[in-house]
């Protein structure tokens, strides 16, 4: 009786419940802010060769340069919509390194770099930002399919899409998974819960990422939900859920690798919350982060950004140096220059093109509109 009484008291102790929530999600961490390994066993568990480590930092540098160049192009009016990614290179690029070509990526609008490293040409990403139809053709330069859906503009909608594809992979017995990304603001959307709940109920092959970058546009994460950890929302749907230092590339990769193995083996989906920070504006569409943040806050996060610690780790191991990085930055920028030229050379769409691309079989009214605009050269 005493045990039941004590249990009942604990059940009705609401303060205890709040404390238990806060203490239930320790953060997975392998590197500290200086790039020093703080858990040798976890580092070994990641099974990353020197070549892998170099590939990961190259992905991260590619993402950073895409961010820098895309922002400049947007300011020049040569780029369409762009959501900056600086600060999220570990969360995005180290995680994506754990997946393969057979896996399906379901990105949000901030996840362009993950599609690019799956083989999607940068010139198509530029056209996507401009609203060109060829920007929604997911093939490589040599026309091989890229297993990615278009970046979702609707917040959290990619989670529902991911759940459906993940169930399809499971039913077909595929050794493949779907991996999907959203931000902290995405966890406030109904589609987020519907997606993880469906995937969980059917043990679908999915890995869901919540990039907790601090802000849903201008709303700080603390005002979005009372949940002390966004990973707790995965528990609500019965998913194994964990919190990772999102500026630690090794920890992010390790969590992603093991989550993929779990899901691909038919055990059901996993949710990973990566704690990172959005160092720039929400988008290039007029957002000013200094209206809701301080320079000091942003400056402190810049000191902890993921490229610093990954660079120091590799330099400490003697497999990376400043000259190698400078050479690779030049290589990436030359690639981006070449890809911009390709994008600029693509024939611009006309009004008639937009109508033709709306439906596979145009209605009679649309056919009349197409004929009218084509006769006017539009």
d(CA 140, CA 232) in angstroms, rounded, equals 38
- The question of whether 229 is a catalytic residue gets the answer no
Residue 244 belongs to what domain range?
Answer: 19-346
* Known catalytic membership, residue 282: yes
Are 250 and 312 a contacting pair, CB within 8 Å? no
Q: What is the pTM of this model?
A: 0.95
Place 37 in a pLDDT band, splitting at 50, 70 and 90: very high
**Which H helix or E strand runs over 274?**
strand 270-275
Residue 314 and residue 271 share a domain: yes
CATH, residue 80: 3.40.50.970
Nearest CA to 65 out of 340, 304, 257 is that of 340
Whether 202 is covered by a domain: the verdict is yes
| 7 falls within a domain | no
CA-to-CA distance for 12 and 65, rounded, in angstroms? 53
Please count the CA atoms within 13 angstroms of the CA of 44 that sit on its side-chain side: 3
DSSP 159-200: HHHHHHHHHHHHHTT-S--EEEEEEGGGGGSHHHHHHHHHHH
Q: How many domains does the structure of the chain reveal?
A: 2
Q: Which of 260, 292, 313, 348 is nearest to 60 (CA)?
A: 313
- Nearest CA to 105 out of 65, 159, 168 is that of 159
The one catalytic residue in 64, 69, 110, 282 is: 282
**Residue 132 annotated among the catalytic residues of the structure:** no
In a domain, 220, yes or no: yes
Q: What is the mean pLDDT of the chain?
A: 95
Asked if residue 235 and residue 284 are part of one domain, the reply reads: yes
Question: Does residue 11 belong to any structural domain of this protein?
Answer: no
Which one is catalytic: 69, 110, 278, 309?
A: 278
pLDDT band at 286 (very low <50, low <70, confident <90, very high): confident
Q: What is the pLDDT of residues 139-196, one digit of tens each?
A: 999 999 999 999 999 999 999 999 999 999 999 999 999 999 999 999 999 999 999 9
Euclidean distance between CA atoms 26 and 59, whole angstroms: 27
* pLDDT at residue 1, rounded to an integer: 62
């Amino acid at each position: 009786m005493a045990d039941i009484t004590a249990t009942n008291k604990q059940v009705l102790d609401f303060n205890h419940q709040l404390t238990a929530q806060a203490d239930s999600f320790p953060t997975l961490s392998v590197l500290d802010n200086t790039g020093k390994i703080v858990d040798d066993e976890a580092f070994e568990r990641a099974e990353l060769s020197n070549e892998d480590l170099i590939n990961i930092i190259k992905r991260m540098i590619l993402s950073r340069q895409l961010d820098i160049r895309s922002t400049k192009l947007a300011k020049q009016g040569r780029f369409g919509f762009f959501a900056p990614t600086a600060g999220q290179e570990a969360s995005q690029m180290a995680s994506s390194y754990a997946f393969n070509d057979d896996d399906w990526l379901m990105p949000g609008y901030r996840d362009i770099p993950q599609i690019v490293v799956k083989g999607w040409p940068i010139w198509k990403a530029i056209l996507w930002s401009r609203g060109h139809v060829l920007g929604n053709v997911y093939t490589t330069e040599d026309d091989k399919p890229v297993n990615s859906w278009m970046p979702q503009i609707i917040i959290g909608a990619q989670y529902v899409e991911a759940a459906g594809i993940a169930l399809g992979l499971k039913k077909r017995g595929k050794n493949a998974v779907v991996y999907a990304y959203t931000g902290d603001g995405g966890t406030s959307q109904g589609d987020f819960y519907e997606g993880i709940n469906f995937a969980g109920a059917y043990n679908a092959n999915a890995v869901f990422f919540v990039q907790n970058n601090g802000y849903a546009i201008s709303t700080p994460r603390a005002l979005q939900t009372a949940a002390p950890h966004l990973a707790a929302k995965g528990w609500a749907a019965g998913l194994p859920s964990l919190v990772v230092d999102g500026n630690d590339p090794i920890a992010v990769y390790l969590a992603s690798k093991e989550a993929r193995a779990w899901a691909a083996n038919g055990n059901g989906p996993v949710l990973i919350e990566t704690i990172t920070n959005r160092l720039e504006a929400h988008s290039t569409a007029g957002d000013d982060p200094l209206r809701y943040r301080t320079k000091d806050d942003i400056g402190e996060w810049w000191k902890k950004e993921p490229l610093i610690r990954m660079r120091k780790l590799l330099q400490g191991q003697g497999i990376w140096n400043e000259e190698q990085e400078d050479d690779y930055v030049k290589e990436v920028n030359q690639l981006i220059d070449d890809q911009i030229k390709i994008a600029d050379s693509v024939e611009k769409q006309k009004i008639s093109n937009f109508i033709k691309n709306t439906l596979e079989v145009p209605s009679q009214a649309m056919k009349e509109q197409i004929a009218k605009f084509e006769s006017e050269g539009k």
